[in-house]
Structure 1
C-alpha cells in the first residue's frame, strides 16, 4: 500500500447524489491546480456521463480481476455495482502534484480516512432532498435511479457530522469560493 509523504494530502468530496460534489470538486480542483483521480465502476454509464471524466467504466470481470491483483486502493460494492480507485493512479498523480482530490461515496471515503487519517480531508457537499431530486431530474436520471439514490439520502446526510468540513450547495459560485478558501487553509497549514 502506498504511504503518503509528509506534504501529500487527499481531499475527498462526498455527500448525497445530486448535491453537486462532482461539479464543485472540478471547479475547486481547477482553481487550485489539483489533480483528480477517477474511480472505476462496473455500473452502466449514464447518458450524461463521459468515460474517463466521470468514471472509468469496466466489466464486472475486469473489476474482479483487478481486485484479485490488488490494484485497487479502495473498493466498495453499492447497489450491486463495484466502485474503486486504482493505487497506481494515485501514485502517478502524487508524482506530479502534492495534493489530489477524489469524488467518492461515503463508504469509499471512510476506507481512505481509516488508512490515512489526518492526510484525508473530507469535504461534505449537501442540499435538501427536494433540491437533490430536482437536480437529478434535470440531468436526466430515471425515476428508478432517483429512487435508488433517495434510499441512501438520509443515511448519507448523517455522515456530514464526521467530516472535516461541510458546505450547503445552493449557489454554485459561492460554494466553490467557500470550499476553495477552506482547502487553501489546509494547504497553508501543511506548509508550515
Structure 2
C-alpha cells in the first residue's frame, strides 16, 4: 500500500449519484485550487455524455480482474454488477506532481480509503434531495432504468452523510463551490502552520 508522506492529503468527494459531486470536485479542485484529480477505472459501459480519461477509465472485466489480481488497485468495489477501483500507481504518480489530490468515489470507496489512511483522507459529502437528483439525471440523459438503479442506492448513500468530515447540500453550484474552496484552503493553511511550527523547533 502506498504510504502517504507528511504533507500529502486526499480529498474525497462522495454522495449520491446525480448530486453533482463530480461537477463540484472539478470546479473546486481543478479550476479554482489547481489540484490534480485521480480517475477511477470501471467495467461499466461509457454513457453518451461521459469522456474516457475524464469521467472514468473504461476497461473490460477481464482487464479489471487481472489488474486486481496483480495488486494494482488501492481500493475496488462492485456496484450493480460493475467494478470500480483506483490504481495505487495513479495515486503515487499524481502525488509526485501535487501535494494534495482529490478523488470522486461512491460511499463504499470513500470508506475504504478512510480506513486505509485515516486523518489523511478528508471526505466531502455532496448531496441533493431525491427529486433534484432524479431531475439532474434526466437532464443529463440517463435512461429510466439507470435512474431507477441509482435511486435504489439513494437512501443507503445518504446514510453515510454523518460519517463524513464535511457535508454540503448542492442547491446552488457557485455557493457550494465557494464553501468547499474555503474548507480546503483551511486544510492548506493548517499544513503551512504545522510546517512553520516544526521549523521553529529545529
Q: Which interval holds the TM-score relative to the shorter structure?
A: over 0.9
1:83 maps to 2:94: no
Other structure's SS at 2:114 match: helix
> 1:186: how far off?
1.3
Residue-by-residue CA offset, 1:13-42 (whole Å, 9 max, x unaligned): 000011000000000012111000000000
Task: Specify the alignment match of 2:26 in structure 1.
Answer: 26
Task: Specify the alignment match of 1:64 in structure 2.
Answer: 65
Runs of 5+ in structure 1 lacking a partner? none
Residue-by-residue CA offset, 1:109-132 (whole Å, 9 max, x unaligned): 000000000000000000000000
Task: Specify the alignment match of 1:15 in structure 2.
Answer: 15
- Is the 8 Å Cα contact of residues 7 and 191 (structure 1) preserved in structure 2? no
Give the TM-score taking structure 2 as reference length. Answer: 0.94
Q: How does 1:1-192 map to 2 (within 5 A)?
A: 1-30=1-30, 31-192=32-193
Alpha-carbon separation, structure 1, partners of 2:48 and 2:161: 29
Alpha-carbon separation, structure 2, partners of 1:160 and 1:187: 23
> 1:50: how far off?
0.3
Residue-by-residue CA offset, 1:26-84 (whole Å, 9 max, x unaligned): 00012111000000000000110000000000000000000010000110011100000
Runs of 5+ in structure 2 lacking a partner? 194-202
> 1:191: how far off?
2.1
> 1:188: how far off?
1.1
Alpha-carbon separation, structure 1, partners of 2:180 and 2:29: 10
- CA-based RMSD of the aligned residues comes to 0.5
Q: How many residues align?
A: 192
After TM superposition, which residue ranges in structure 1, 4 or more long, deviate above 4 angstroms?
A: none
